[in-house]
Amino acid sequence: MYDTVIIGSGLSGLICASILSKEGEKVCIVEQHFKPGGSLQTFNRDGRIFDTGVHYVGGLENGQNLYNYFKYLDIMDSLKIRKLDENAFDKISFKDGIKEYPLAMGYDNFVEQLSSFFPRERENIAKYIEYIKNTIKAFPLYNLSIRGTEIPEEFFYQENAKKVIEGFTQDITLQNVLAGNNPLYAGVPSKTPIHVHALINDNFIQSSWRLVDGGSQIADALIENIGKYGCEIKAGSKVVKIVSEKREMKHIELENGEKVYGKRYISTMHPANMLDIMEEGSFNSTYTEKIYSLEDTMGIFGLYLTLKENSFKYRGSNYYHYADVDSWESERKRSYMFLTPAISKSDDYADSAIALSYMDFKEVERWKDTRYLKRGSEYLEFKQEREEILIEEISKKFPELKGSIEKVYSSTPLSFRDYVGARNGALYGALRDCNEPHKSFISPKTRIKNLYLSGQNIILHGILGVTIGAVLTCGSILGFEYLIDKIREKI
Ligand X SMILES: Cc1cc2nc3c(=O)[nH]c(=O)nc-3n(C[C@H](O)[C@H](O)[C@H](O)COP(=O)(O)OP(=O)(O)OC[C@H]3O[C@@H](n4cnc5c(N)ncnc54)[C@H](O)[C@@H]3O)c2cc1C
Measured CA to CA in angstroms, residue 203 lies from 16, 34, 185 at distances of: 22, 32, 13
> In this chain, which stretch among 6-14, 206-214, 370-378, 395-403 interacts with ligand X, using CB under 6 A?
6-14
Shortest Å, Cβ 269 to ligand X:
4
**Which strands form 300-307's sheet, in the order they lie side by side?**
101-103, 90-94, 318-322, 336-339, 352-358, 300-307, 405-411
Which of 50, 141, 197, 150 is CA-nearest to residue 466? Answer: 141
Query: In the bound complex, which residue of the shown chain has the CB atom lying closest to ligand X?
Result: 10
In this structure, are residues 18 and 225 in contact, taking their beta carbons and an 8 Å threshold? Answer: yes
d(CA 249, CA 206): 41
By C-beta, is 111 or 144 nearer to ligand X? 144
CB atoms within 10 A of CB 137: 12
> In this chain, which stretch among 109-117, 153-161, 419-427, 445-453 interacts with ligand X, using CB under 6 A?
419-427
> In this chain, which stretch among 189-197, 280-288, 366-374, 416-424 interacts with ligand X, using CB under 6 A?
416-424
> In this chain, which stretch among 80-88, 121-129, 342-350, 462-470 interacts with ligand X, using CB under 6 A?
462-470
Indicate whether 352 belongs to the interface with ligand X (CB under 6 A). no
Helix (H, G, I), strand (E, B) or coil at 111: helix
Crossing angle for the helix pair 107-115 and 122-136, to the nearest 10 degrees: 150
Residues 254-313 that bind ligand X (CB under 6 A): 268-269, 273, 300
Indicate whether 427 belongs to the interface with ligand X (CB under 6 A). yes
CB atoms within 10 A of CB 153: 9
> In this chain, which stretch among 32-40, 172-180, 438-446, 474-482 interacts with ligand X, using CB under 6 A?
32-40
Which of 231, 222, 227 is CA-nearest to residue 79? Answer: 222
Indicate whether 455 belongs to the interface with ligand X (CB under 6 A). yes
What is the number of residues in the chain? 491
d(CA 324, CA 21): 50
By C-beta, is 57 or 111 nearer to ligand X? 57
Indicate whether 428 belongs to the interface with ligand X (CB under 6 A). yes
d(CA 273, CA 132): 34
By C-beta, is 168 or 336 nearer to ligand X? 336
DSSP 8-state symbol, 396: H
x/- track of binding to ligand X for residues 50-89 (CB under 6 A): ---xxxxx--------------------------------
| Binding residue (CB under 6 A) for ligand X from 205, 466, 483, 487 | 466
By C-beta, is 130 or 255 nearer to ligand X? 255
Which of 214, 261, 258 is CA-nearest to residue 238? Answer: 258
DSSP 8-state symbol, 349: B
Shortest Å, Cβ 113 to ligand X:
21
Indicate whether 358 belongs to the interface with ligand X (CB under 6 A). no
Helix (H, G, I), strand (E, B) or coil at 163: helix
Binding site for ligand X (CB under 6 A): 7-13, 30-33, 38-40, 53-57, 238-239, 268-269, 273, 300, 356, 416, 420-421, 427-428, 455-456, 461-463, 466
